[in-house]
Every structure is written in C-alpha cells, then in structure tokens.
Structure 1
Amino acid sequence: MRPILRRLLPATVPAMVLVLFFAFPIPSAVASELAEAERLLKQGQAPQALAKVETYVAGKPRELQGRFLKGLILMEMNRPSEAITVFTQISDDYPELPEPYNNLAVLYARQQQLERARMLLEMAIRTHPGYALARENLGDVLLRLASQSYDEALRLDPGNKGMQAKQARLRELNVAPSPGAIR
C-alpha cells in the first residue's frame, strides 16, 4: 500500500525544482547559478547547495526561484523550522502560488500538526484547483485525521465493531495511528 504523503521529499526535490524553473522563466545567468545548486543537491551535497543558494539569495533577497530552492534544500537537510520560515515568507510575498502552501503543509504534517497541514493544503487548492499533488496530500492528511478520530472514538467505546472495521480499513491503506505514519 502507499505510505502517507509518499510523494514528498527527498524523491521530489529534483522534480519540484524543475517545475519551478519551467513555471517561471528566468535569465540564463540566474538559471546557471541555481542549476549549479540544484546539481549539488541532486548529488547529495545539500550543504554546498545551500551555501551557493544563500550567496545567490543574499544578493537578490526577494527573488522567487532562489528562495524556493533554499526552502527545498532546508527540507532535504531536515531543518524544518528554517524551511517553514522560507516558505512562509514566499507564501506571504506570492499568495497566488500553491507550491509554498503545499511545502508548508508537508513540513507541518511531519510535525504531526495535521490541522494546520490541512488548512495549508486547502489554501494551495484554492489558489490552484488543478494542483493534483496538493489534492493527494490533502487526502492523505484527511485519512490520518480520520484515523486519529477513530482511535479516540474506540478509546471511548472500545466495543464498537463498526468503528473497529473502519479503523481496520484505514490501516489497510497504511494509515497507522503511530506518529511516524506521515512521510
């Protein structure tokens, strides 16, 4: 079965970077600087990629592509609080873009802040109704919230066979009640 939020980092870092580069045309000099950081990231050299992006962003603090790549690198480096800061600033500056909301939702879901993740995914979908990844992630978060609700209901009414059956079906989808279920 598919794990919750299975399409998230690190597997999607290169794809997310490419989507960002194709979605927003950028000058070739900028593209080469950021492409070098992306190459370093793909090669598993996240600290070097971050250093390159931070140097770039220092000279262009409001530039979208560099900031977005910085957030992705911080996610890859398991520095969630810094990544949250980056993606929050991007979503404040570009509220029409769904990707920062999706990435924030991923970060909050990893911290078991599922209601906050749900709200951010709904925001991503409001800004771009056709954003399939945000819809998939929202479904996964809702499944996890449902599992938590059934767990609590079963704690209150342990003999309820209907809830036991529903929880069993959720477990078949790999929506385990453990905190590590969201990836």
Structure 2
Amino acid sequence: MSHHWALSRVLPILLCFGSSLTWANDIAEIEELIRNKQWPQAQQKLQLAIKQTAPTATTPLSPQFRFMNSQILAGQGQVAKAVQELQALIQEFPELPEPYNNLGVLLAAQGQYDVALSALTSAIQARPHYKIALQNLGDLYTALAQQAYAQAKNAKEGPNLLPLPAPSAVTTNTTNTQTLR
C-alpha cells in the first residue's frame, strides 16, 4: 500500500476528529462565558460557532447551540425571545429536561407560577433525579406558599373556622317525625 492511499483514508478521519475537538472547545468556551454572564462575548462566540457548523435543512442547528442562545437571550433581558426559543426546543425535543427547566425558571420570574409549575414538572418527568429542576421546583413551591400566606394575611377579618354544616333531617321508620342527627 502506498502512503498516499493511507493518507487519503486517515486524513478525513483526523480532520473530523479535529473539527469535533474544535466544536467541543467552542461549546466549553461559550458555556464559560455564559456562567460568567459575559453575554456579548458569548453571543459573538456562539454566532461564530454556528457559522462554522453551517446548519442546513438536512442538518439543522444543534439543540445545544439553540439552548445556549436562549440562555444568552435571557441574560441580555430578551426574555420573550428566550421563552420562544425554549418552547420551540421543547416542541422538537420533548425528551430534553433542560429547556423545560429553564422555561420554568423564566416563567416563575415573571410570576406565571402555574405554567412554570407545569414546565418544571415536565423537566422532572423527563429526568426524575434532575437536581437543578428539583431545586427550582422547591423554590417555586416556596414562592407559591409565600404568595398564599400574603393573600391570607391581607384577607378581610372573618371567622377563623368554617361554619359547621347544618344538621340534616332524618325520617325514622317507626314514626313520621323528623329528628335531628
């Protein structure tokens, strides 16, 4: 076998491996920028990574890139766009818990507790031991409890106990009189 033949077979594999490493490095860098809340830099790096992967109709944009985009949008205060991106991800990838979790957090921050509860519950259904979603669900239940407590505290004064139900009339078989039970 010639070196040319071996090189022609091995080089494409090495190039694919190298591009995978570059892609993984890009993701790690973007995630680090997101963790550090460096939104403009994260957006710029994400756009560059998207251009390098060149999404097409047959190979659409990676759900991971879309998820990171939603995080960046939310961090930049574009919550409505972030919510739309997460909802689209959920439609396309209902098995992924992360979009449900982040959607739940964004909706809870807007006071939409019922919808947030549904999203967080879906995240936990997708991955039952998803620690972050479980913690967020606990935080949501705490917020709901505080809301209920505030409503109770501000309610008009009235009886602290529910009124007892009215006694029911019973007809006995021996007489035609009604007695109270």
Partner of 2:145: 146
SS in 2 for 1:28: helix
TM-score (norm 2): 0.65
Higher relative contact order (CA 8 A, sep 6+): 1
SS in 1 for 2:137: helix
Pairs within 5 Å for 1:75-114: 75-114=74-113
Cα deviations across residues 117-153 of structure 1 (Å, max 9, x unaligned)? Answer: 1110011111111112211211211121122223223
Question: Are the structure 2 counterparts of residues 147 and 39 from structure 1 closer, same or farther at C-alpha, using a change threshold of 3 Å?
Answer: closer
Give the letter for the 1:28 counterpart: L
Give the letter for the 1:97 counterpart: L
Question: Are the structure 2 counterparts of residues 40 and 142 from structure 1 closer, same or farther at C-alpha, using a change threshold of 3 Å?
Answer: closer
Give the letter for the 1:45 counterpart: Q
Distance in 2 between residues matched to 1:29 and 1:116, nearest whole Å: 38
Partner of 1:31: 24
Asked which structure has the greater CA Rg, the reply is: 2
Distance in 1 between residues matched to 2:159 and 2:143, nearest whole Å: 20
Pairs within 5 Å for 1:16-165: 27-42=20-35, 44-57=37-50, 59-60=54-55, 61-158=60-157
The unaligned stretches of length 5 or more in structure 2 are 1-18, 162-181
The alignment of Structure 1 onto Structure 2 pairs a total of residues equal to 137
Question: Are the structure 2 counterparts of residues 75 and 32 from structure 1 closer, same or farther at C-alpha, using a change threshold of 3 Å?
Answer: same
Distance in 1 between residues matched to 2:126 and 2:37, nearest whole Å: 32
The unaligned stretches of length 5 or more in structure 1 are 1-25, 163-183
SS in 2 for 1:130: coil
The CA RMSD over aligned residues, in Å, is: 2.5
Partner of 2:8: none
| Amino-acid identity (%) | 36
TM-score (norm 1): 0.64
CA contact (8 A) 2:79 2:106 kept: yes
